[in-house]
Structures are given as structure tokens and as C-alpha cells.
């Protein structure tokens, strides 16, 4: 097993974890959503990487080429991107409503306000 | 036409959702939605019948054969779940109109029904499909619509609960996506059946191990297994009452289905539960869930939160059954899954009725409802007895099977713990009974409830708190579920047979 | 692999910066970078989508949200230790998992063996479309794409359900000045640009069979043109062009168009979404089917994107209205 061959995947793992860390550790609701989208985008990179064939080309059939990269991960990720933007849009709508009702978009302040109510 | 039923099951509610947007008229939308759900229920019964007579149904979407295209694959387990989900949605929708009119602003009610149908279709899609990636797509349909449904609650905390669920749910879904991706990487296929045949070759690799770990964590987030349950209580407590009833009866059940489907059909029991210490881990978490959540439930003052924690505890029982890895254990888990849906459905429907009259969910507002709304309160009591596991209710049946399964492996201490868990249920149910039946309402009850009352009721609050039952349109479906609780508690043929069939097909298929 | 390095840098700066506007921009850059990475990886369709969605639509939405909520985040963090522990464990598990992965770009990896080659070798015969991604997306896995269209529709319903109508409620804000009203040059330039953008969207819509593109990308571009118009000339005047209830109905019709193609197959005795029934020749049928469903996707995506943008913009108008 050549270590260098997995270099790509390692970087992708780092990217995923940075995104994941932003989601967990930041208290700002918009920032959390950004973290989520970084996390998801990195997973997309993982999928796309696995479909790549060295020396291949984009899977649009043409006489000039004979080696193509695998189209299936591309299709899956197209769907996943759409799911991602749908989630982000809904999340942002929620943030807007939360801001209207609570007057803040910081997790800790919202928690405080809720505790006072209980 | 009969051979198209697997796909009709999902696309009927799926296509009905956009049609709702064209209908506009609120009452019409409600009738239409309920009708669609009822049709889905009939289809699911037909499917169950077909599965029982013809065995597993396979439907190739787009006419492309399985690993190339997507296929639907319905066996006894999926058929049982399809019946459960569409039955619950139909019952909840029957009662939804009145409750929704009161709890959701007028201009948003249409969106409520659309989201409800999408949620239903998403759940049905997850259950019917035989393709791992398709699970993810439909999971997101049902999740996104669930976030919307929860956020429609009138308390502002509903928004916060929905946001938290969105974050947790998306992390869960992304984990599942990573798991599916790694599996695909090692096998080159996404079809579940195909996966189950190709995985054994590579099962020893670390990549498959990682895939499985990510998958388990992702699903456990979705099904609210004990330490990952944090999103659930608030989501249940602040969502509109009918949404709570629907979610409590279906959402976590679908997640458990996904867990069972992936571990048993794709990975196979041997790999899933014996190669890893997963079995022990899940059992400990299940027990912790039963105790932790039950104790927290006892401390709650909000009735919806109380039963939400109780749900987390009941999920613990299912996971214990699942973790045994034996046929009997899985059968107990499935029975409890079905039965718990009946109990929580009945309880939350009854609470929806109470909320409709009282307008609040704090325990103190429930003083004396036993006298004022005897039928509604009785429904909660029967549901509660079922939760405890009293004989003649469904709760008894599933606990019985669970204990038998545990004894089969000689796990005496666990049996004792399960019984102790039931005692905790006695405490929190009793707490409610005591307030409902043995305390008289304290003078004026209106303060917090006011904003929930409809304009006419608000004018003369006395009238609103006079001795009135919940409207019959909520009461009838509630009692349908209550009767189901007792019926399936006495006549166990149907549930046990289907569960047995489901289990044997799962064990037969696994490599 | 320089791109990957830049990606890491961008991600770290997103985590560190306190200025939310800057982080939005960085997230946009992150998307663009990953899009270019996708091009290197031969995934042109994905790159196209990621660029238009990640760097375009999602940036606009995040900026609109920030206009409503405020620019800076609270420096106080919590869960940092817990977060680190969780992240390190998850990351370690993933790294552990990579050690048995087939090496990168390997033609003999399982991924390249089973289903993938079938698509590459058979799709032209089955479907007759050179872009294999389109064949898989629209036909072999057409049901996933149907699900995806429904996901977008669900998001539209969710946003509408949460932020409500802005159709007629605030007529008094109709003439709210657009944020970029003063920029005359921008306005003239974009007036010239919008028609070609719309044309390009149509090209992308109908050319997806041969090159990268398809209903989803076209929908996003189409919506982007209208959003651009709204930003420069004011949401009010854009609303005069775009009728809100109509847009909602269209978004539903897009899903229904997709679904009804499937229902037609059902009525003809074939399985759901089997396009071969649409014409006497099965390959021609596939062609029609793909064209129709891509159109459905395009309509729904355009409408939902417009709905989402206008509901957000409606909130901004409302806020300014209250402030005045």
C-alpha cells in the first residue's frame, strides 16, 4: 500500500472534519449552516474522487477518447448538491424566523431565553 | 395493475402533494389529503397480502434491471411498516382538521397538509426501496418536510427545536451518505441485494468497517438512541399536536426500519453483531436509554415532553431486542415497534384533543380533566397502561416477547432491568392519572391558555373550560387507536405472524 | 492537487473569521474551488452545478439572511473541547478507513468494475445520448432525480410555510429602492446581459443530452437572471414581471410534469418512468422522456429558487418598512 496514493482522501477527510468542527463548536446559527455546507461539499469531493480514473476524461461519449471516468458518482452528487441547497435554504428560513422571534441568532442567548421561560 | 402497486404506494402521496397546492381551498385540501392517505393505506394492505401469498415483490423503476436501475423490493418487513405508517397517517389526518385550524395560522394550513403528504411519501419511499442511495433521497424528503411541520408549531421554541433537529438530522444524513459512499467504493453497487452479495468478499477491510460505523451513528442520530436523542423532546413538545402524534408513531420507527434493513439485509447479522462489540454497546445504550429517559420523564411538567422522553425510553427497549441478534430478539423489537406506534399514537392524539380544549400542555392545566373530559382522559390512561405493559394491552405482548428473547440467552439481569424500567413507566403514568382524576381544577384556568382559544371561545372563557369532551372528529380516531391497543393485545395472531414472517425472511436472506 | 491545498486553507479561514460576511464569501470561494476540483476530476456536470448553486444561490441566500440578522458572530465559543474530541475521533476513524481503500484513480477499483462500465458501454445503445451523466441521471436512475425534484419542491414549501406570503401583503413597500439602484453602469450592463443569460439557460436546458447541463443547472441560471434583475431594479418591479401565485403553481406543475411522464408509462403497461413507451422506437422514447422530465426539473427549480429569493427579499423589505 503506497501511502501517497491515499493522500487525496486524507485531505478530504481533513476538509470534512473542519466543516464538522464548525457545526459543533460555533454558536452562531448562520455559521453552523456554513459549516454544514462545507462538511457536505467535502463529502461530495470524496464521492467524486472515487469515480476518477487516471488518464480518463469526462463521461461524454466521443470517438476521440476511450477512457472515461465513472459517471455514477457524478449523478449521485448532483442529487446530493440539490439536497444540500434545499437544506441550506430551509435552515436559513428558520434562522430568519428565529431572529424575528428571539432577536438573536446566537445559540447561547437563545438557550438562556428559553431557560428563563421554563 | 396489481403489479404496479409497489410504486403506487409511494407516488400517490408524492404526486398528491403538488396537487394540494393547486387546490387552495383549505377544507378541500384536508379532505383530499385524508383521502390520499386512505388510498395509500388500502394499497399497503394489498401489498401485505401480495407479499404473504407471493413472497418478496420486486419492481424495477424505469424498466431497468436492478443494479443498473433502482428497484423497489418489498418483503414482509417492509409491508408491515408500510401498513403501519399509512395507517397512522390516515388516523392522524382524520382528526387533524379541527386541531390544525386552531394551532396553525390560516394561510399556512395548506402548506401543512402538503408537508404532511411529503413526509408520508418520504417515509413510504424509504421503506419500499431496495436501493441504498434512494434511501438517502427519500430520507431527505421526509426530513425536510418534518422540519417544516415542527416549525409550524405556534410556540417560538418550535423554531429552535426545528433548527436543532435540522442540524442534527443533516449531520446524521451526511454520515449515512458517507457510509453509503464507502460501501459503494468497495463494491461498485448501490443496490441492497447486490451489496449483500458483494460485501462478503471485502467484509474484512477497514473501509467496510468504517462504512458500517458511520452508517450506525447516522441512523442512531435519526432514531434518537439515548445519547443522541437531544433533538427529540423539544421537537415533540413544541410541534403542532397532530404532528407530534404522527412523528411519535412513525418517524423513529422508520429509522429503526432502516437500521434493521441495513444491518440484516446488507451487512448480515454475523458481521454486524458479532465481529464488533456492537451488540453489547447497543444493549448498554438501550438500557441507559430506558432508565435515563424514564427518570427524566418523571421530572417533566409538560405532558408532551413527558411522553417524548417516554418515547426515547421505549426506543431503548426496541434497541435491546435488536441487539440480541437472535430471531426472537428481532421479533420482539419489531412487535414493540408496531405496538409502540399504536400506544404513542393514541396518547398523542388524546393530548391533541386535550390541547384543543385547554390550549396548554402543562400538567397543572390537566387538573380534573378526568371528570371534565372522561373519554379523552381514558384514552390516555389506556395508552399509559399499554406503555407500562399491563396484560390485555399491546404493551404486554411486546414486553413478553422481549423477556422471552432475553431468557433464551439467559440474560437474567437484563430481564430484571427491563421489569424495573416498566416500574418507572408506572410512576410517570401515575403522575398524570393522579392530576387528571384526583385533583380538582384550581379556580381560573385561563391565563396561559388564552391565546390558543379561537375567537368565540376567548370571549367567554368559562364556556371554554366547561365540561366538554374533545370534538368527536378528534375523539373517534383517538379511540380507534385505543381499541387497536386492546385488540392487538388480546388477538396477537396478526402482528406476531407478520413479525415472524419478517424475521425469518431477514434471517433467510442474510449471508 | 494545489486546489486541495487551497480548499484546506479556505476551510480553516471560514472556521477562524468572526466576520460573517467574510465567511459567506469564503464559503462561496470554497464552492468555486471545489467546482474546479470537480473539473479536474472529470465531473463537469457536477462542477457546473456546484458553481451555480454553491457559489451563486447559496451565497445570495446567506447574504440575505445576514442583512436580516447582523454581521458579526459572538466570539464566545462553546463545546470546543467536546467538538474537538468528536471531530478527532470521527476523523481518525475515516483515516483508518482509507487505509484499505483502492488507490486513487485506479482503473481496477471495484467502483470501476461493476455498474459503471455498463453505463459507459451500453448507454449509447440504450438511450442514444452521448452525455452518460444525463442518461444515468434521467433514465437509469430517473427515480432518484424525481426524488431530488421533490426535495427542492419540499424546500420551497418549507420556506413558504415559514416565511409566508409576500404576494400582496406589503404593497406599500413595492417601491423600496433596490440595494444597487444607484449603480447606473451596472444597471445598463446587466440589462444588456440578462437576455443572453436567459438564452444561455435555455441552451443549457435543452443541450444537456450532448454537453454538461440539464434541467437543474438551467433552472438555477434562469432564476439567477431574474434575481439579478430584482437586485438591480428593486424587488417591487421584478414582482410586476413575475406573478407570485403563478410561480407557486408552476413549481407544482414541474413536479407533476415529471410525475405524469411516469404515469403515462404506467398507463401503457410499462413500469413507472419507463420512457420507451413514449415513441414507437424505444431509443426515441428515451429521448422524449429525458427532454420532458428535464423540462419538469427546470420549471420546478426555477420557480422554487425564485420563490425562495422573493420570500427572503420580502422579509428584508418588511424589516426596512418597519424601520422607517
Q: For C101-153, what is each residue's pLDDT tens digit?
A: 777 777 778 888 888 888 888 888 888 888 888 888 888 999 999 999 999 99
Select from B351, B350, B359, B353 the least CA-distant residue to B457.
B359
Question: What pLDDT is attached to residue B445?
Answer: 46
**How far apart are alpha carbons C192 and C204 in whole angstroms?**
20
Do A17 and C87 make contact, defined as CB atoms within 8 angstroms? yes
**How far apart are alpha carbons C218 and C204 in whole angstroms?**
5
Angle (CA) B76 B191 B16, round 5°: 65
Question: What pLDDT is attached to residue B460?
Answer: 44
Do C132 and A68 make contact, defined as CB atoms within 8 angstroms? yes
Task: For residue C173, give every residue at least 6 positions away whose Cβ sits within 8 Å of its Cβ, in sequence order, or none.
Answer: C236, C317, C318, C320, C321
> Subunits with at least 3 CB pairs below 8 A relative to chain C?
A, B
CB B126 within 8 A of CB B258: yes
> Residues C80-94: what's their mean pLDDT?
86
Quick: pLDDT tens for B406-455. Answer: 998 888 899 999 999 889 999 999 988 888 888 776 544 444 444 444 44
Query: Which contiguous run of DSSP H or E holds residue B74?
Result: strand B71-74
Task: Find the CB nearest C153 among B18, B63, B138.
Answer: B18
Angle (CA) C93 C95 C101, round 5°: 110
Do A36 and B137 make contact, defined as CB atoms within 8 angstroms? no
Q: Which residue of B has its CA nearest to C116?
A: B188
Do A90 and B144 make contact, defined as CB atoms within 8 angstroms? yes
Distance from the Cα of A98 to chain C's closest Cα (Å) equals 10
Quick: pLDDT tens for B359-408. Answer: 878 888 888 888 888 888 899 999 999 999 888 899 999 999 999 999 98
Q: Is the pLDDT of residue B466 over 70?
A: no
Return residues 52-91 of A near C (CB < 8 Å).
52-54, 56-62, 67-79, 81-90
Q: Residue B340 is placed in which grid cell? A: 409502540
> Residues C290-299: what's their mean pLDDT?
92
Distance from the Cα of B206 to chain C's closest Cα (Å) equals 5
Q: Is the pLDDT of residue C319 over 80?
A: no
**How far apart are alpha carbons B330 and B504 in whole angstroms?**
10
Return residues 141-200 of B near C (CB < 8 Å).
141, 144-145, 147-148, 151-152, 178, 182, 184-190, 198
Task: Find the CB nearest B11 among C97, C144, C259.
Answer: C259
Q: Is the pLDDT of residue B458 over 50?
A: no
pLDDT band at A59 (very low <50, low <70, confident <90, very high): confident
Angle (CA) C308 C314 C318, round 5°: 150
Q: Which of B262-271, B464-473, C68-77, C85-94 has the lowest mean pLDDT?
A: B464-473
C88: chain A residues, CB-CB within 8 Å = 17
Q: Residue C312 is placed in which grid cell? A: 427572503
| A1 inside 8 A of chain B by CB | no
Q: Which long-range contacts (CB under 8 A, 24 or more apart) does C320-323 make?
A: C320/C173, C320/C176, C321/C170, C321/C172, C321/C173, C321/C176
**How far apart are alpha carbons B347 and B304 in whole angstroms?**
10
**How far apart are alpha carbons B128 and B71 in whole angstroms?**
9
**How far apart are alpha carbons B352 and B367 in whole angstroms?**
16
Return residues 4-63 of A near B (CB < 8 Å).
16, 20, 23, 29, 32, 36, 39-40, 43, 46-47, 50
Task: Find the CB nearest C74 among A17, A28, A59.
Answer: A28
Task: For residue C72, give every residue at least 6 positions away whose Cβ sits within 8 Å of its Cβ, in sequence order, or none.
Answer: C18, C19, C20
> Residues C283-297: what's their mean pLDDT?
90
> Residues A85-107: what's their mean pLDDT?
91
The single-letter DSSP state of residue B107 is: G
- Percent of the residues in chain C that have a pLDDT greater than 90, as a whole number: 20
Select from B395, B493, B455, B380 the least CA-distant residue to B101.
B455
> Subunits with at least 3 CB pairs below 8 A relative to chain B?
A, C
Distance from the Cα of B226 to chain A's closest Cα (Å) equals 19
CB B266 within 8 A of CB B176: no
| B147 inside 8 A of chain A by CB | yes
> Residues A45-74: what's their mean pLDDT?
84
Q: Is the pLDDT of residue B304 over 50?
A: yes
Q: Is the pLDDT of residue B465 over 60?
A: no
Question: What pLDDT is attached to residue C75?
Answer: 67
> Residues A107-117: what's their mean pLDDT?
82
Task: Find the CB nearest C161 among B111, B121, B184.
Answer: B111
> Subunits with at least 3 CB pairs below 8 A relative to chain A?
B, C
pLDDT band at C213 (very low <50, low <70, confident <90, very high): confident
**How far apart are alpha carbons B269 and B507 in whole angstroms?**
8
Amino acid at each position: 500500500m503506497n501511502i501517497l496514493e491515499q493522500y487525496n482522501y486524507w485531505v478530504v477527510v481533513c476538509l470534512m472534519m473542519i466543516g464538522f468542527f464548525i457545526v459543533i463548536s460555533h454558536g452562531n446559527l448562520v455559521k453552523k449552516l456554513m459549516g454544514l455546507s462545507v462538511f457536505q461539499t467535502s463529502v461530495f469531493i470524496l464521492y467524486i474522487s472515487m469515480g476518477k480514473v487516471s488518464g480518463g476524461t469526462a463521461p461524454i461519449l466521443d470517438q476521440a477518447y476511450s477512457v472515461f471516468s465513472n459517471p455514477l458518482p457524478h449523478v449521485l452528487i448532483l442529487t446530493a448538491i440539490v439536497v444540500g441547497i434545499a437544506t441550506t435554504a430551509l435552515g436559513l428560513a428558520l434562522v430568519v424566523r428565529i431572529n424575528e422571534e428571539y432577536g438573536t441568532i446566537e445559540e447561547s442567548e437563545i438557550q438562556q431565553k428559553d431557560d428563563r421561560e421554563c | 395493475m396489481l403489479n404496479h402497486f409497489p410504486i403506487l404506494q409511494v407516488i400517490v402521496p408524492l404526486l398528491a402533494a403538488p396537487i394540494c397546492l393547486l387546490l387552495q381551498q383549505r377544507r378541500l385540501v384536508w379532505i383530499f389529503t385524508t383521502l390520499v392517505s386512505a388510498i395509500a393505506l388500502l394499497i399497503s394492505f394489498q401489498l401485505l397480502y401480495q407479499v404473504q401469498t407471493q413472497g418478496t415483490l420486486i419492481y424495477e423503476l424505469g424498466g431497468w434491471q436492478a443494479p443498473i436501475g433502482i428497484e423497489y423490493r418489498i418483503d414482509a418487513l417492509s409491508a408491515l411498516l408500510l401498513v403501519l405508517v399509512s395507517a397512522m397517517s390516515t388516523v392522524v389526518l382524520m382528526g387533524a382538521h379541527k386541531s390544525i385550524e386552531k394551532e396553525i395560522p390560516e394561510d399556512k394550513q395548506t402548506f401543512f397538509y402538503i408537508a404532511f403528504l411529503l413526509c408520508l411519501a418520504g417515509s413510504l419511499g424509504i421503506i419500499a426501496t431496495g436501493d441504498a442511495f434512494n434511501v438517502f433521497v427519500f430520507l431527505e424528503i421526509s426530513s425536510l418536510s418534518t422540519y417544516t411541520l415542527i416549525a409550524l408549531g405556534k410556540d417560538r421554541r418550535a423554531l429552535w427545536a426545528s433548527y436543532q433537529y435540522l442540524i442534527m438530522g443533516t449531520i446524521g444524513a451526511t454520515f449515512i451518505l458517507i457510509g453509503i459512499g464507502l460501501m459503494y467504493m468497495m463494491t461498485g453497487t448501490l443496490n441492497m441485494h447486490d451489496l449483500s452479495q458483494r460485501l462478503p468478499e471485502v467484509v474484512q477491510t477497514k473501509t467496510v468497517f468504517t462504512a458500517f460505523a458511520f452508517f450506525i451513528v447516522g441512523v442512531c442520530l435519526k432514531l434518537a438512541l439515548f445519547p443522541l436523542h437531544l433533538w427529540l423532546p423539544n421537537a415533540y413538545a413544541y410541534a403542532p399536536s397532530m404532528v407530534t402524534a404522527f412523528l411519535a408513531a412513525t418517524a423513529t420507527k422508520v429509522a429503526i426500519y432502516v437500521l434493521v434493513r441495513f444491518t440484516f439485509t446488507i451487512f448480515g447479522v454475523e458481521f454486524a453483531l458479532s465481529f464488533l462489540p456492537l451488540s453489547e454497546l447497543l444493549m448498554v445504550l438501550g438500557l441507559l436509554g430506558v432508565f435515563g429517559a424514564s427518570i427524566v420523564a418523571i421530572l417533566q411538567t409538560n405532558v408532551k415532553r413527558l411522553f417524548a422522553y417516554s418515547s426515547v425510553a421505549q426506543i431503548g427497549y426496541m434497541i435491546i431486542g435488536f441487539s440480541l441478534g437472535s430471531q426472537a430478539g428481532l421479533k420482539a423489537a419489531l412487535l414493540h415497534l408496531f405496538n409502540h406506534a399504536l400506544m404513542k399514537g393514541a396518547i398523542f392524539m388524546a393530548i391533541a384533543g386535550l390541547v384543543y380544549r385547554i390550549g396548554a400542555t402543562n400538567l397543572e392545566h390537566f387538573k380534573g380533566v378526568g371528570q371534565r373530559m372522561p373519554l379523552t382522559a381514558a384514552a390516555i390512561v389506556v395508552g399509559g397502561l399499554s406503555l407500562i405493559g399491563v396484560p390485555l394491552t399491546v404493551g404486554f405482548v411486546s414486553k413478553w416477547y422481549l423477556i422471552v428473547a432475553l431468557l433464551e440467552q439467559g440474560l437474567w439481569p437484563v430481564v430484571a432491568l427491563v421489569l424495573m424500567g416498566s416500574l418507572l413507566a408506572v410512576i410517570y403514568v401515575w403522575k398524570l392519572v393522579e392530576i387528571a382524576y384526583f385533583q380538582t381544577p384550581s379556580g381560573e384556568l385561563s391565563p396561559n391558555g388564552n391565546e390558543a382559544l379561537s375567537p368565540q371561545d376567548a370571549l367567554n372563557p368559562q364556556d371554554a373550560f366547561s365540561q366538554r369532551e374533545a370534538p368527536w372528529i378528534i375523539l373517534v380516531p383517538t379511540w380507534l387507536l385505543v381499541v387497536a391497543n386492546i385488540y392487538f393485545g388480546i388477538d396477537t395472531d396478526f402482528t406476531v405472524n407478520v413479525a415472524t414472517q419478517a424475521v425469518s425472511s431477514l434471517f433467510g436472506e442474510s449471508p | 492537487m494545489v486546489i486541495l491545498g487551497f480548499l484546506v486553507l479556505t476551510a480553516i479561514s471560514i472556521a477562524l473569521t468572526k466576520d460573517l460576511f467574510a465567511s459567506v464569501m469564503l464559503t462561496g470561494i470554497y464552492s468555486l474551488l471545489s467546482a474546479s476540483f470537480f473539473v479536474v476530476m472529470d465531473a463537469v456536470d457536477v462542477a457546473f452545478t456546484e458553481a451555480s448553486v454553491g457559489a451563486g444561490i447559496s451565497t445570495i441566500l446567506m447574504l440575505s439572511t445576514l442583512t436580516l440578522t447582523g454581521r458579526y458572530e459572538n466570539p464566545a465559543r462553546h463545546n470546543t473541547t467536546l467538538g474537538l474530541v468528536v471531530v478527532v475521533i470521527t476523523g481518525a476513524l475515516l483515516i483508518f478507513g482509507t487505509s484499505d481503500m483502492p488507490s486513487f484513480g485506479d482503473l481496477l477499483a471495484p467502483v470501476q468494475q461493476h455498474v459503471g462500465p455498463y453505463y459507459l458501454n451500453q448507454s449509447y445503445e440504450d438511450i442514444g445520448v452521448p452525455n452518460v451523466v444525463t442518461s444515468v441521471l434521467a433514465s437509469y436512475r430517473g427515480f432518484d432525480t424525481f426524488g431530488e425534484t421533490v426535495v427542492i419542491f419540499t424546500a420551497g414549501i418549507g420556506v413558504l410555510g415559514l416565511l409566508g406570503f409576500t404576494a400582496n401583503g406589503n404593497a406599500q413597500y413595492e417601491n423600496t429602492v433596490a440595494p444597487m439602484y444607484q449603480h447606473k453602469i451596472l444597471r445598463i450592463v446587466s440589462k444588456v446581459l440578462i437576455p443572453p443569460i436567459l438564452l444561455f439557460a435555455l441552451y443549457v436546458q435543452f443541450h444537456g443530452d450532448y454537453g454538461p447541463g440539464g434541467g437543474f443547472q438551467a433552472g438555477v441560471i434562469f432564476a439567477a437572471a431574474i434575481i439579478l434583475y430584482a437586485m438591480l431594479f428593486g424587488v417591487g418591479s421584478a414582482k410586476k414581471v413575475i406573478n407570485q401565485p403563478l410561480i407557486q403553481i408552476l413549481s407544482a406543475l414541474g413536479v407533476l410534469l415529471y410525475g405524469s411522464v411516469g404515469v403515462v408509462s404506467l398507463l401503457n403497461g410499462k413500469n413507472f418512468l419507463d420512457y420507451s413507451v413514449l415513441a414507437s422506437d424505444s431509443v426515441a422514447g428515451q429521448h422524449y422522456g429525458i427532454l420532458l422530465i428535464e423540462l419538469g426539473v427546470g420549471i420546478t427549480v426555477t420557480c422554487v429558487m425564485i420563490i425562495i429569493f422573493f420570500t427572503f427579499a420580502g422579509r428584508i423589505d418588511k424589516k426596512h418598512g418597519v424601520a422607517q
